[in-house]
Amino acid sequence: MDICVVGTGYVGLVTGACLADIGNRVICVDVDKEKINKLKKGIIPIYELGLKDLVKRNQKRKRLAFTTDLREGLKKSTIIFIAVGTPPKQDGGADLTYVENVARQISQYMTSYKLIVEKSTVPVETGAWVKHTVSVNNRHKVKFDVASNPEFLREGQAINDFMHPDRIVIGVGSKKAEELLVKLYSPLRAPMVITDIKSAEIIKHASNSFLAMKISFINAISNICEKAGADVEKVAEGMGLDKRIGRAFLDAGVGFGGFCFPKDLAAFIKIAEKLDYNFALLKEVEKINEFQKKLLVNKIKDNLWIVKGKTIGILGLSFKPNTDDIRFAPSLDIIRLLRDEGANIKVFDPQAMNKAREVLKKVKFCKNPYEVARNADCLVIVTEWNEFKKLDLKKIKKLLKQPLIVDGRNIYNPKALKKAGFKYICMGKS
């Protein structure tokens, strides 16, 4: 099929490349000339496992093209995915300016039937607004449909998530739209949930909010475990084996970050407010998440006594492993809180150093974890990168001023660390 994807951010680029890989002709459109020029040369602006090869392979096969010209993108395409940003506004609601602009432009340029699909995460009723916007500006009186097809891609495993989804959600208002999307996704052989547009929009926000709630729930349990002298990992295991609960997203730690959960939670709370419902449960999920970062800082303070003038080594800046994304990463708040206390900060991350340099000032960027540990009063794990799990702990112990590790992601075995001579502080167990 001929597909156009508008927006070559994280979601757009992965969607475009994967749709090309399963046999479609895809043209990706973005207003950012520099980005498009780079993409044409096979230079990928984000770090995502396997994406570079996927883009190159499909460019070679002439199934994936890039342009800044929306008209060119629309010419041959029947299905148009809107995958532009929906950044948070001051009040937590989603800013839909880009979505509206794209909808308007599509309606002005289209000359044959188009199925316009929302791919970005948007509040319920956006589909109705897109339909209204396209109708109002539909110069050539062209037939069109609107659909919602939310993405469930996790950064770091987005390609795998696209190719092997748990489900595909298709929100439509016509048989034709349904048939087109079912045909498009049939090679993936995944369960499809076919519904109306509003329900599809809510599925996305409800899913992300539910996962965030699971994380805050286990973090609350983790704090109870700490006080009671229990082990949160065993509790998570015991809960998770119940199929109705499931073990996923029950890892206690410094909480969730990234550009999806915090933003989507805030947006969903705002949507509910507009619909005259006070979603207090989700407000509490946010509060628990904020508390976890302060908790980690308090653990550091409790073990260093005076933080002012001390050197604290931070391992991990990205909001989770296998990505260079530091947006809303817990590390940023933790570093800010420690700097406010007067600490000197040294940091290392396997992928996020360049992005971190743009936002973190007065911090020493180190070449590796050992340089972070050298002469530090405390080593803090903020992101559970695999390479941190395999550190030479003997070497780390020699390099640290005192053998203190505060682990915000529970990557080590407490007994082994204690045996190795460390004072080891983690989350929800001792």
Q: Which residues would be at the binding site for ligand UGA (CB under 6 A)?
A: 121, 151-155, 208, 211, 215, 249-251, 253, 255-258, 260-261, 264, 319-320
Give the span between the Cα atoms of 197 and 122, in whole angstroms: 11
Of the listed 28, 260, 366, 426, which one is catalytic? 260
* Biggest distance spanned by C-alpha atoms of the chain: 75
Give the span between the Cα atoms of 424 and 430, in whole angstroms: 8
Q: H or E stretch including 264?
A: helix 261-274
The token pair that represents 317 in the structure block: 């800046």
Of 155 and 226, the one with the shorter C-beta distance to ligand UGA is: 155
Taking the complex as a whole, the smallest distance from the CB of residue 348 to ligand UGA amounts, in Å, to 18
Give the span between the Cα atoms of 146 and 117, in whole angstroms: 6
Of 118 and 155, the one with the shorter C-beta distance to ligand UGA is: 155
Closest CA to 417 of 382, 379, 386, 385: 379
The token pair that represents 389 in the structure block: 């799990």
Of 144 and 412, the one with the shorter C-beta distance to ligand UGA is: 412
Of 215 and 312, the one with the shorter C-beta distance to ligand UGA is: 215
Taking the complex as a whole, the smallest distance from the CB of residue 11 to ligand UGA amounts, in Å, to 7
Give the span between the Cα atoms of 123 and 269, in whole angstroms: 10
Give the span between the Cα atoms of 86 and 59, in whole angstroms: 28
Taking the complex as a whole, the smallest distance from the CB of residue 253 to ligand UGA amounts, in Å, to 5
Taking the complex as a whole, the smallest distance from the CB of residue 319 to ligand UGA amounts, in Å, to 4
Taking the complex as a whole, the smallest distance from the CB of residue 37 to ligand UGA amounts, in Å, to 26
The rounded Cα 376 to chain-centroid distance in angstroms is 31
Active site residue 260: yes
Give the span between the Cα atoms of 66 and 39, in whole angstroms: 7
Of 81 and 319, the one with the shorter C-beta distance to ligand UGA is: 319
Catalytic sites, residue numbers? 260
